[in-house]
Structure 1
Amino acid sequence: MMLIPNRGSRRTSMVAGVTGLALLLGACGGGSKADNGKDAAEGYDPAAQVTLTWWTGQPSEGEQKAEELAAEYTKAHPNVTIKTSSGAATTDDLLTKLSAGFTSNSYPDVSYAYGSWAGELATSGRTQDLAKFVADPSFGWQEIPAAARETATYDGKVIGVPALVDNLALIYNKKLFDDAHVAYPTDQWSWDDFRAAAKKLTNPSQNLYGTAYSVSGGEDTTWHLWPMLWQRGGKILDGNKPAFNSDAGVAALELLRAMAVDDKSMYLDQTDEQYAKLFNDGRIGMMMSGPWALLEIKEAGLDYGVAQLPGYNGDHQTVSGPDLWVLFDHNDANRAGASRDFIKWLTSKETDAKWNLAIGNLPLRSSEQGTPEFAAYVKEYPGGQKFFENLANAKQARPTVAGYEEMSRNVGDGISKVLQGAAKPKEALDEAAKKSAGAIE
Structure 2
Amino acid sequence: MRRARSRGARYAAAAALVAALAGLTACGGGKAEEATGPVKVVWWHGQVENQAKVIQNLVADYNRTHPGVQVVPAVGTTNVDDMLQKVQAALAGGDAPDIAYMYGSWSAHLAKSPKVVDLTKIVKDPAFGWDDFWPSERAVAEVNGKVIGIPAIVDNLAVVYNKKLFDAAGLAYPSKDWTWDDFRAAAKKLTSPEKGVYGTSYPVTGSEDTVWRFWPMLWQQGGAIVSPDGKKSAFDTPQAAQALTLWQQMAREDKSVYLDQNGEKFLPLFQSGKTGMVIAGPWALFDFIDHKIDYGVQVLPGYGGNHETIAGPDNWVVFDNGARRSKAATDFLTWLTRPEQDARWTLGLGNLPVRKATMALPAYKKFVQDFPDVDVFTANLDNAKQARPALEAYPEFSEKVGDAIAHVLIAGAPVQQALDQAVKDGDRVLARSR
TM-score, normalised with respect to structure 2: 0.92
Confirm or deny that 1:396 pairs with 2:386.
Answer: yes
Alignment of 1:411 onto 2:404: no
Residue 36 of structure 1 is matched in structure 2 by: none
Say if 1:10 and 1:292, in contact at 8 Å, map to a contact too. no
The answer on whether the counterparts of 1:32 and 1:125 sit within 8 Å (CA) in structure 2 is no
* Among candidates 166, 176, 185, match of residue 177 of structure 1: 166
1:267 aligns with 2:258: yes
Query: What does the per-residue CA deviation read over 1:219-246, in whole Å, with 9 as the maximum and x for residues that have no partner?
Result: 2111111111101211011121221223
Question: Which segments of 5 or more consecutive residues in structure 1 lack a partner in the other structure?
Answer: 34-43
Partner of 2:190: 201
Distance 1:273 1:19, change over 3 A: closer
Greater CA drift, 349-358 or 87-96: 87-96
Structure 2 segments unaligned to the other structure (5+ residues): none
Which of 290, 296, 317 aligns to 2:287? It is 296
> Structure 1, residues 304-333: CA drift from partner, whole Å, max 9, x if none?
111110001111000011111111223x00
Contact conserved, 2:151 with 2:314, CA < 8 A, in 1? Answer: yes
Instruction: Report if the CA contact (8 A) 1:28-1:103 is conserved.
Output: yes
CA drift of 1:302 comes to: 1.4
In 2: Cα distance, 1:374 partner to 1:63 partner: 21
Contact 1:87 1:94 in 2 (8 A): no
1:105 and 1:431, CA in 2 relative to 1: closer, same or farther beyond 3 A? farther
Pair 1:437 & 2:434 matched: no
Which amino acid letter does the alignment assign opposite residue 96 of structure 2? Y
Q: How many residues align?
A: 425
TM alignment of 1:39-438, pairs within 5 A: 49-85=38-74, 88=77, 90-238=79-227, 239-240=229-230, 241-330=232-321, 332-421=322-411, 423-435=413-425, 436-438=429-431
**Is the 1:120–1:403 contact (alpha carbons within 8 Å) kept by the matching residues of 2?**
no
Please tell me whether the aligned partners of residues 47 and 78 of structure 2 are also in contact (alpha carbons under 8 angstroms). Answer: no
CA apart distance, 1:117? 1.2
User: Which letter maps to 2:254?
Assistant: D
Change (3 A) 1:101 1:261: farther
- Give the secondary structure class of the aligned counterpart of 2:81: helix
Query: Does the 8 Å contact 1:7/1:292 carry over to 2?
Result: no
The structure 1 segments of at least 4 consecutive aligned residues displaced by more than 4 Å after TM superposition are: 30-33, 86-89
SS of match in other structure, 1:301 = coil
Contact 2:115 2:320 in 1 (8 A): yes
Give the 3-state SS of the residue equivalent to 1:95 in structure 2: helix
C-alpha contact 2:202 2:258 (8 A) present in aligned 1? yes
SS of corresponding position for 2:300 = coil
Give the alignment's Cα RMSD to 1 decimal: 2.2
CA contact (8 A) 2:151 2:315 kept: yes
Whole-angstrom distance in 1 between the partners of 2:273 and 2:5 = 16
User: Contact 1:115 / 1:152 at 8 angstroms: preserved in 2?
Assistant: yes
- Structure 1 Cα separation of the partners of residues 105 and 245 of structure 2: 25
Counterpart amino acid of 2:21?
L
SS at match of 2:55: helix
Q: Letter of the 2:292 partner, please give it.
A: G
SS of 1:438 mapped into structure 2: helix
Q: Secondary structure at the match of 2:364?
A: helix
Query: How far apart are the structure 1 equivalents of 2:249 and 2:433?
Result: 31
Counterpart CA distance in 2 for 1:48 and 1:237 is 50
Q: Is this contact kept in 2: 1:172–1:306, CA < 8 A? A: yes
Letter in 1 for 2:264: E
Per-residue deviation at 1:74? Answer: 1.4
In structure 2, how many angstroms separate the alpha carbons of the residues matched to 1:125 and 1:224? 34
- CA–CA separation in structure 1 for the residues paired with 2:50 and 2:93: 29
- Give the Å deviation of 1:354: 2.1
Shift of 1:281: 0.7
3-state SS in 2 of match to 1:22: coil
Which moves more between the two structures, 18-27 or 5-14? 5-14
- TM-score, length basis structure 1: 0.90
Q: Distance in 2 between matches of 1:420 and 1:87?
A: 41
